[in-house]
Structure 1
């Protein structure tokens, strides 16, 4: 079924919308969620929550790219579940590795002033990724959006783990420079 037809099912409040979404994007969402959450029960709960959130958001939202829309919902819910389960503990799992990697170029500021700047940071990062070459953009988003581990990225792009690690390090340094240039980080 075409994305437009699935979206129309949501607008008609037809429960087949969830079934069709699952048929078309279930494996895609499960991959995203599984990269972040390791527990099978948490994965299933997150997928159920993803479909529920889709049902609540469409309408009024009318996504231009349904795959990206549901992928972002699944990723955000999985990260929220991860943070809730790991709030006290540190270490273990690919998400902690990713957060530690990004700590060097993106500060963790939770005060009001910084929450206002969050949209600006998102725009800077989005522009940064859009300006990267296709391979680097895919590697960056595979790691930092889809939370893929380095081995699977290496297999996907025909690289060694070392090459992926070096590429990600170079990209983080470029991002850090960009954030400094934009005045988001102090030099």
Structure 2
């Protein structure tokens, strides 16, 4: 039987069975996309070596933490991207602290890192968030994932989906509102996020 690299259950089963060949194949198959995400998050703060080390950490975290993977919640690919996002954000914070606490470093942190609410959405309620996103129609689902999981800019999204930048912002705001309602987040948090979005690139 031919192995399907898009089969999440197959990857999970091979990882759980400690198939070392599966780890090498996952790095080959998913590695370039994971690397692009990590590089985007570490932009301006990390070296090429930092990116490579972070990518390696992502796959080792997947290998050692496969028991926590829930295929009913997300594809194996999406799960890897979540791991990459967490690892890269943690490393970015460490690199910024190591680089000093001056105004320049603080400015980079403010302009490039996701807001506190988005961190809560992605880390504390990750499985619930993914469930909400999977229920979205297109193009909203892809817009949300590519903006908040892959860190694509509003201009990139507008070009890719043949929408105006204002239309992209409107759709993303509606998505965030629906998710906040589904997850029971406060209205005050929503206002803070809406205000923050006005300064996004």
Using the size of structure 2 for normalisation, the TM-score is 0.64
In the other structure, the counterpart of 1:112 is none
Inter-partner Cα distance in structure 2 for 1:37 and 1:178: 31
In the other structure, the counterpart of 1:13 is 18
Aligned pair partner of 1:25 in 8, 21, 30: 30
**Corresponding residue SS for 1:90:** helix
Give the 4+ runs in structure 1 shifted more than 6 A.
Answer: none
Change in CA separation of 1:17 and 1:161 when aligned onto 2, cut-off 3 Å: same
Aligned pair count?
170
Once the two structures are TM-superposed, the CA of residue 80 in structure 1 deviates from its matched residue by 1.0
Inter-partner Cα distance in structure 2 for 1:121 and 1:84: 23
1:53 matched to 2:61: yes
Question: Comparing 3-12 with 137-146, which one deviates more in the overlay?
Answer: 3-12
In the other structure, the counterpart of 1:111 is none
In the other structure, the counterpart of 2:174 is 171
Where do 5+ consecutive residues of structure 1 fail to align?
109-114
1:155 matched to 2:164: no
Inter-partner Cα distance in structure 2 for 1:49 and 1:164: 33
In the other structure, the counterpart of 2:195 is none
Inter-partner Cα distance in structure 2 for 1:151 and 1:107: 20
**Corresponding residue SS for 2:107:** coil
8 Å CA contact 2:180, 2:186 repeated in 1 = no
Using the size of structure 1 for normalisation, the TM-score is 0.68
